[in-house]
Amino acid sequence: MPILSLDDFKSLPIGQFAPGSWTVEYHDRTHLADKTYVPLGEVKIEEVSRKGDVLFSFRPTPRKPKNKQTTEHTPQEENYLESLLEKAWDQGAIEGKVNPADAADYISDQLEESMARLGLVQLTFEIDDPEFSERSFAVIILDTNALRGGAVRHLREQYGSVQLWTIIPLVSLMEIGERTANITQKAADKPKKQNCSLIRVRPQVTITPQEIRWLKKNFPTETLELVPELFRTFRGYEASREREPDRVLINDRLILEGIKDLRRQRGLPEVVYLMSGDKDMSRLARLEGIHTIYPARPGIRESPEGICSVRYSLEARTYILCSIHRFLWDLTHVFSRIRLQCLEGPQAGRIVELFYYFPTKLVHDWIADKLEVTGLGPGLTTNVI
């Protein structure tokens, strides 16, 4: 099986796509039976340039209307995301208890986050400092939510005149390691319905390390350390849900205390900002006199015609293009295994699969962000790379 980097995927024949209608589906062994896929949506490839750039649109699988109450099932209703999940669980005889609507929420939320991270939709920032755009530089502390959401890319796009200095809390790095161990353990267990909640966690393990590498390459970046007295109060993700509020409160408090200590040490209170997608965290920080940047993302279902791979940025005064290769790459990091299948067009019948957790993955493959990619069916010169 070919093990490829993102650049390899873009340049090799396996990454060549023709115009047509495609479906994109996912498989996750933590909560789906082997070879069982759930449709995430439709991809329509409109045009391919001479340089190989692909113009496409993505329309997610529709959700079941919350106010619709009926016992009748029509063919259209069977295509709702909730119904497709239930069908997949029934076919695979997957045990466990979970509300299909909650499971569909996990998927929809991560699709929205992915679209924002890819730049397909634009974030809007709520900044409690009216002078932010006038500052020459700003120190940005990113919590885990901001890291995994790729919010700094949008901030740089919209506030290009502000030089950014990024700081990553040690608490966030510790959480990544703990989440990695948790997902590895769950993947070794028998599939269970309730494990679909891991979709919310996986980007913290797969996306965040790559985002940190990007930050270090593009900005001065350092780690927000903790004094030893605070360090030993760190709480992990307990198995019991009763401890979850304690964990969130204590770890958020560690970040806030670290920010206060940083400001005291360097005497820069006016240019230090906490970027967090957690409303409660942002509100608490403001109450304690810490400037905050809250990134809000739009709902992707507000675009019934689909989300286009190109958008124009008024701030940057240029077009923002997302390649279909990066689109598939990001989805694979979130959903573990992605299958793209052509239904109509010159490559009808072709299937391309990307797998994140392939069995032979080595340390270098994790660091280099390599995936297992296979391409089958018509439209390829060869299926072996």
Regarding whether 53 and 27 lie in a shared domain, the answer is yes
- 211, 140: one domain: yes
Distance CA 129, CA 12 (A): 47
Show Cβ contacts of residue 270 under 8 Å, excluding neighbours closer than 6 positions: 129, 291
- Report pTM: 0.89
Q: Do both 114 and 154 map to the same domain?
A: no
Evaluate whether residue 379 is within a structural domain: no
Do both 26 and 69 map to the same domain? yes
More reliable by pLDDT, 339 or 185: 339
Segment 137-175, tens digit of pLDDT: 999 999 989 999 999 999 999 999 999 999 999 888 888
The CATH number of whichever domain residue 272 belongs to comes to 3.40.50.1010
Our count of domains for the chain comes to 2
Dihedral angle sign, alpha carbons of residues 154, 156, 159, 162 = positive
Query: For a pLDDT cut of 70, what percent of the chain falls above it?
Result: 88
Q: Are residues 212 and 241 in the same domain?
A: yes
Say whether both 232 and 115 belong to one domain.
Answer: no
* Residue range 360-369, pLDDT digits in tens: 999 899 989 9
Rounded to whole angstroms, the Cα distance separating 263 from 227 reads 14
Could you tell me if 105 and 153 lie in one domain?
A: no
Are residues 242 and 192 both part of a single domain? yes
Q: Which domain holds residue 153?
A: 124-296
Q: What is the pLDDT of residues 52-69, one digit of tens each?
A: 788 999 999 998 887 655
Q: Note whether residue 373 is domain-resident.
A: no
pLDDT at 227: 66
pLDDT for residue 385: 27
